[in-house]
């Protein structure tokens, strides 16, 4: 069985730089801890990708399309099918004062948000900061160990998976006659992040699931006792 564009697939993978075999990224908490790269703010476990929607780099998508559920494969991904070649025009010099105005104190290796894009600080000296707007893995040939964990078939499972991707846990999900219904009970913390993630989820469902034309959110709120 092979996969096609539009399929919802969960995969585990570990990516390493071909140049020195150092870990670039992994979905495995065990691997991350073993190589002292564990990040407590990152969610580990199988990652959802919707084929054809650029949720993963091209080299990984193409490899997954030719695989079966339960299959594992080692794949070399060139920069052209990974994170692109390095572009030296994306290396810029900024004034240190611009960072201090925003209470930021850059150090080499730090990643910073500049106008909505992530940049890596290369050097800091004489009041100047050299920032690199290239992706940290640009120009790198990567070696991926990929395992296809599962393929999602049911529409409600696809919606649940997308909700999980946006850190949402609905109490109930149903999809029928082009209508997706999600229920969030009173125990769900409906803070600002919830509102932002809910909007992103609605956009993703409508983009990735062409059979769904309407999304209904049902929310329960309860008065808190004094």
225: confidence class by pLDDT, cuts 50, 70, 90: confident
Q: Tell me the residue length of the chain.
A: 226
**Per CATH, domain 88-132 is 3.40.630.10:** no
pLDDT of residue 1: 61
Tell me which residue of 199, 173, 203, 201 sits closest to 185, measured CA to CA: 173
- Rounded CA-CA distance 215/178 in Å is 9
pLDDT of residue 226: 64
Question: What is the average pLDDT score of the chain?
Answer: 94
Averaged over 187-191, what is the pLDDT? 88
pLDDT of residue 213: 96
> What tokens were used for 204?
């993703």
Cβ atoms of residues 19 and 140 within 8 Å = yes
Q: Which residue has the tokens 């585990």?
A: 12
Domain ranges of the chain: 1-86+138-152, 88-132, 154-226
State the CATH class of domain 1-86+138-152.
Answer: alpha beta
Look up the pTM and report it: 0.85
Domain covering 154-226 in this structure, CATH number: 3.30.70.2210
How many CA atoms does the CB half-sphere of 210 hold within 13 Å? 5
């Amino acid at each position: 069985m092979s996969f096609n564009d539009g399929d919802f697939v969960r995969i585990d993978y570990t990516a390493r730089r071909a140049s020195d075999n150092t870990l670039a990224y992994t979905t495995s908490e065990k691997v991350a801890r073993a190589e002292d790269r564990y990040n407590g703010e990152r969610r580990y476990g199988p990652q959802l990708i919707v084929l054809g929607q650029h949720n993963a780099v091209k080299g990984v998508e193409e490899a997954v399309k030719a695989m079966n559920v339960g299959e594992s494969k080692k794949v070399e991904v060139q920069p052209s099918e990974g994170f692109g070649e390095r572009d030296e025009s994306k290396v810029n010099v900024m004034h240190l004062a611009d960072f201090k105005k925003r209470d930021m104190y850059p150090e080499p290796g730090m990643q910073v948000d500049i106008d909505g894009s992530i940049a890596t600080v290369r050097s800091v000296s004489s009041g100047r900061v050299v920032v690199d707007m290239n992706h940290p893995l640009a120009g790198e040939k990567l070696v991926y160990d990929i395992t296809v964990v599962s393929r999602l078939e049911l529409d409600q499972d696809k919606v649940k998976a997308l909700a999980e991707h946006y850190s949402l846990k609905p109490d109930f999900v149903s999809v029928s006659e082009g209508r997706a219904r999600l229920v969030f009970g009173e125990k769900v913390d409906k803070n600002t992040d919830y509102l932002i993630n809910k909007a992103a989820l609605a956009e993703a469902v409508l983009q990735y699931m062409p059979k769904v034309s309407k999304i209904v959110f049902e929310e329960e709120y309860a008065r808190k006792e004094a």
